[in-house]
Copies of this chain bind each other. A is one copy, B any other.
Amino acid sequence: MIRLFVPDPLAAGAEIVLGPEQTHYLVNVMRQAVGADLALFNGRDGEWKALIVETRKKVSLLRCEARLRAQQVPPDLDLIVAAVKRSRLETIVEKAAELGARRVRIVLTQRTNAERVRIERLTVIATEAAEQTGRLDVPEVLEPVKLNLLLDGWDGGRSLLFCDEGGDARPVIEALGGASGPCAILIGPEGGFSPEERQRLRGLPFVVPATLGPRILRADTAAISAMTLWQAAAGDWR
């Protein structure tokens, strides 16, 4: 079943107007016509079955019929990732949506080559991936912030899984050790963290250092592997 994210409130009988892009996708790409049904979600009201009532060139009208699923709250997982190359960052955002992260926060580190980060484009990618993966919300993608500022204002109630390439960190599953509660995963830039950054991170009480095996992983692989292991050890894959 086709799934679309819409910002509107969803309730029995609610009428939803889709703009040009979603209309194009529905009518031209997916070849749906009046009378066909699809699923809608908005991150608040669960998943709704809706009927196509009318289609025009640039808009279409839907009507909510019945609730298919109640809203669910996914595990409280943030992904914090250095501003890596655009294509890898786009992959990471897509995978964060598939792997159930609630937020993706982009950070600038000492070794980040700050390409311009297009939050709007990344939000489109997160939305499309959320539609396809079946979740009932869209992960939020946040504007880049400097790592040090992020750590200065850290909420100590959220643990920070620091995927550390160098040294003596324990495997992720062992490091998590049945942990629960809010978590963030931190993935560094391709050049790794600087010695000062590593030292600061290793000294913070909420930081859990962990290793992702004996090989060097690209940033996108590291992000996917770390989210997978967190979901398996502490999230909704248990």
Q: Which residues of A contact B (CB under 8 A)?
A: 91, 95, 98-100, 132-135, 171-173, 211-218, 221, 224-225, 228-229, 231-233, 236-238
Contacts and interface: CB of A to CB of B under 8 A. Distances in A.
B216 A237 contact: no
Nearest to A215: B133
Q: How many copies does the complex hold?
A: 2
B216 A236 contact: no
10 contacts: A134-B215, A171-B232, A171-B237, A172-B232, A211-B237, A212-B237, A213-B231, A225-B225, A225-B228, A229-B232
Given A213-B231, A216-B134, A221 B173 contact: no
Contacts of A232: 171-173, 229, 232
A237 B224 contact: no
Nearest to A133: B215
Given A99-B213, A213-B237, A224-B228, 18 more contacts: A91-B91, A98-B215, A98-B216, A98-B217, A98-B218, A99-B217, A100-B213, A100-B215, A132-B216, A134-B214, A171-B237, A172-B237, A173-B173, A173-B233, A213-B236, A221-B224, A224-B225, A232-B232
